[in-house]
Amino acid sequence: MFSLFKSNPSKKLRRQYDKLLERALHAQRNGDIKTYSMLTAESDALLKQIETIENNQG
């Protein structure tokens, strides 16, 4: 019953992941490949964390 009020930790990480991908997209469009690759690597690491959390929850 009270699980409605519990925060979902993967939800916050998912928003951060989406923002990183958006920033990477803009960097790629501007020709900044170094920044694009760094942001993509960060987003991949964040996605692994999200998958781990979601696998442990359900």
| Contact criterion met (CB below 8 Å) for 54 and 10 | yes
Write the DSSP symbol of residue 58. Answer: -
pLDDT for 57 equals: 81
Residue 8 confidence (pLDDT): 81
pTM for the full predicted model: 0.82
Given this model, what pLDDT does residue 28 score? 97
Whether residue 39 contacts residue 23, with contact meaning beta carbons closer than 8 Å, is answered with yes
pLDDT along the chain (58 residues), means of 10: 71 95 97 97 96 87
Cα separation, 49 vs 26, whole angstroms: 24
Q: Which of 38, 40, 35, 33 is nearest to 17 (CA)?
A: 40
Q: What is the pLDDT of residue 10?
A: 87
